[in-house]
């Protein structure tokens, strides 16, 4: 059974590195030979670029495909779900060729609705993080969505067609927007861990937290922290769990005239908290991928990350609704050992300041 039955909209592969490029309707798949892949991307210790697709191509898209931020993979349905800051849900069916992402088909588009069935609006519609329940239990058709919202911080459950089903109980301080660095710096990242349950993360360290470190919040009150790659400007914008329980965390630095956007993908391994009241334990971490500066053609405002399988992950960019930015779906292969639970233990060294 397929959950998304809407009209088929084909999104074409795009050649990264061409600002403002509108891909032709029958563009060939982007290939390694067409990319100037930086040396850092070919290192066995770094993630490897495996194709990209432009999603907001006005020539192809029949739906509003802007400000896409949250991303999650439904293995049972073979679909990518993504949510927009504008309060809607999009279903994408990726298409691969030779292990590379070559296209993505929009199969459905739904507004996220409130408890009364009305489409979300204004600050209430600022959906940023996405995770799925029952998406890998071998039963197609029973997935549920968990969506985190930023300006009105909450995590709510939705059907795959955008119907509100209820909200999760968050630790009290996370539900109060006044406890964040600012009104637009709340819950951006969301993931469901097989051991530690629902994890969420704020875009920037909150007042009282250690500067230069991101904190992950468990729904039971446990917390973990890890160091920012860009200590001054980095923002936590995405989170996804690998099959072995390690996490991928997406960090984005804001656009600057010197560097454009800068992106870092962290591999995290959470240490068991000694108790729910324990002060923030360390998450072992290392950086798998950086984009930006010397890699400017590959960097955009990436805000969503989703594990595809033990060896691959997707990233999606938020175009902010701006004509000079792009909505892109990227596909990467993890470096050897990164998804088997051994890589982080061997390579990481995170200092716990507490
Ligand atoms: Ca399922």
What is the SS3 string spanning the chain? CCCCCCCCEEECECCCCCCCCCCCCCCCCCCHHHCCCCHHHHCCCCCEEEEEEECCCCCCCCCCCCCEEEEEEECCCCEEEEEECCCEEEEEEEEEECCEEEEEEEEEEEECECCCCCECCHHHHCEEEEEEECCCCCCCCCCEEEEEECCCCEEEEECCCCCEEEECCCCHHHHCHHHCCCCCCCEEEEEEECCCEEEEEECCCCCCCCCCEEEEEECCCCEEEEECCCCCCCEEEEEEECCCCCEEEEEEEEEECCCEEEEEEEEEEECCCCCCCCCCCEEEEEEEEEECHHHHHHCCCEEEEEEEECCEEEEEECCCCCCCCCCEEEEEECCCCCCCCCHHHHHCCCCCCC
d(CA 74, ligand 1 centre) in Å: 8
Question: Looking at the predicted structure, is the pLDDT value of residue 26 above 50?
Answer: no
CA 321–ligand 1 middle distance (angstroms) = 33
At residue 307, the pLDDT reads 97
Task: Count CA atoms within 13 Å of residue 170 on its CB side.
Answer: 26
- At residue 109 the predicted structure's pLDDT band, cuts being 50, 70 and 90, is very high
Ligand 1 centroid to 270 CA: how many Å? 26
Per-residue pLDDT at 338: 80
Distance 140 CA to ligand 1 centre (A): 4
Least Cα distance to 267 among 307, 235, 211 occurs for: 307
The pLDDT score that the predictor gives to residue 275 is 62
Q: Which fold has domain 38-347?
A: Neuraminidase (2.120.10)
C-alpha–C-alpha distance, residues 208 and 211, integer Å: 9
User: What is the distance between the alpha carbons of residues 126 and 188, in angstroms, rounded to a whole number?
Assistant: 10
The rounded Å distance from CA 141 to ligand 1 centre is 6
- Give the model's confidence band at 219: pLDDT under 50 very low, under 70 low, under 90 confident, else very high: confident
Say which residues have a Cβ less than 8 Å from residue 39's Cβ, sequence separation at least 6. Answer: none
Span from the CA of 354 to the centroid of ligand 1 (angstroms)? 40
327 CA → ligand 1 middle, Å = 28
Looking at the chain, the whole-number percentage of residues with pLDDT higher than 70 is 76
> How many A from CA of 107 to the centre of ligand 1?
18
Q: Is the pLDDT of residue 218 over 50?
A: yes
Tell me how far the alpha carbon of residue 111 lies from the centroid of ligand 1, in angstroms: 22
Distance of CA 259 from the midpoint of ligand 1 (Å) = 42
Q: What separation in Å is there between the alpha carbon of 244 and the centre of ligand 1? A: 19
Q: How far is the CA of 144 from the centre of ligand 1 (A)?
A: 9
pLDDT of residue 59: 62
Give the pLDDT confidence score for residue 91 in this predicted structure.
95
Q: What is the mean pLDDT of residues 204-223?
A: 85
Average pLDDT, the chain: 79
Q: Model's pTM, two decimal places?
A: 0.82
Q: How far is the CA of 350 from the centre of ligand 1 (A)?
A: 36
Q: Decide: 248 and 344 in contact? Cβ < 8 Å.
A: no
Instruction: Compute, in angstroms, the gap from residue 170 CA to the centroid of ligand 1.
Output: 25
Q: What pLDDT, on a 0 to 100 scale, did the predictor assign at position 185?
A: 67
Tokens of 45: 């210790």
Q: How many CB atoms lie within 10 A of CB 274?
A: 10
Flag the least confident range among 20-29, 104-113, 157-166: 20-29
pLDDT (0 to 100) of residue 44: 55
Query: What pLDDT does residue 332 have?
Result: 95
Contacts of 260 (CB under 8 A, 6+ apart): 292, 293, 296, 299
pLDDT tens per residue, range 138-185:
999 999 999 988 777 788 999 999 999 999 877 667 777 777 777 666
Distance 164 CA to ligand 1 centre (A): 19
Task: Give the distance (Å) from ligand 1 centre to CA of residue 190.
Answer: 19
- Give the confidence band of 319 by pLDDT, cuts at 50, 70, 90: confident
Query: What is the whole-number distance in angstroms between the Cα of residue 217 and the centre of ligand 1?
Result: 26
Q: Cα(47) to centroid of ligand 1, in Å?
A: 28
CA of 134 to the centre of ligand 1 (A): 4
Give 133 Cα–ligand 1 centroid separation in angstroms.
8
What φ, ψ does residue 70 adopt, rounded to 5°? -85, 145
Q: Report CA(347)–ligand 1 centroid distance (Å).
A: 34
Does 308 or 326 have the greater pLDDT score? 308
pLDDT at 298 over 90: no
Cα–Cα dist 350/345, whole Å: 11
CA of 77 to the centre of ligand 1 (A): 7
Ligand 1 centroid–CA 93 distance in Å is 16
Whole-number Å distance, alpha carbon 101 to ligand 1 midpoint, is: 23
Take residue 64 and report the two structure tokens written for it: 């509003």
Could you give the CA distance from residue 192 to residue 326 in angstroms, rounded to a whole number? 28
């Amino acid at each position: 059974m397929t959950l998304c039955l809407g009209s088929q909209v084909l999104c074409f592969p795009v050649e990264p590195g061409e600002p403002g490029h509108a891909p032709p309707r029958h563009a060939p798949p982007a290939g390694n030979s067409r990319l100037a892949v930086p040396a850092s991307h070919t290192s066995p210790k770094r993630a490897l670029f495996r194709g990209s697709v432009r999603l907001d191509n006005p020539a192809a898209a029949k739906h509003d495909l802007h400000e896409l931020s949250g991303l999650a993979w439904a293995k049972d349905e073979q679909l990518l779900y993504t949510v927009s800051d504008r309060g809607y849900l999009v279903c994408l069916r990726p298409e691969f060729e030779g292990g590379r992402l070559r296209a993505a088909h929009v199969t459905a588009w739904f507004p996220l609705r409130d408890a009364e069935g009305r489409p979300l609006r204004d600050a209430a519609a600022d959906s940023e993080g996405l995770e799925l329940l029952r998406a890998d239990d071998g039963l197609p058709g029973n997935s549920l969505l968990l969506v985190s919202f930023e300006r009105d911080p909450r995590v709510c459950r939705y059907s795959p067609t955008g119907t509100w089903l209820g909200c999760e109980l968050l630790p009290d301080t996370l539900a109060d927007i006044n406890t964040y660095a600012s009104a637009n710096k709340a819950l951006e990242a969301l993931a469901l861990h097989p051991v530690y349950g629902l994890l969420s993360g704020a875009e920037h360290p909150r007042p009282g937290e250690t500067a230069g470190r991101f904190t992950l919040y468990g729904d039971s009150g446990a917390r973990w922290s890890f160091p920012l790659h860009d200590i001054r400007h980095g923002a936590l914008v995405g989170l996804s769990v690998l099959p072995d329980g390690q996490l991928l965390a997406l960090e984005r630095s804001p656009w600057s005239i010197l560097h454009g956007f800068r992106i870092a993908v962290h591999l995290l391994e959470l240490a068991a908290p000694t108790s729910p009241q324990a002060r923030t334990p360390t998450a072992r971490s290392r950086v798998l991928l950086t984009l930006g500066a010397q890699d400017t053609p590959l960097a955009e405002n990436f805000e969503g990350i989703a594990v595809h399988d033990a060896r691959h992950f997707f990233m999606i960019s938020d175009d902010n609704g701006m004509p000079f930015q792009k909505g892109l779906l990227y596909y990467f292969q993890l470096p050897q050992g990164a998804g088997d639970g051994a890589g982080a233990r061997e390579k990481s060294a995170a200092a716990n300041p507490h």
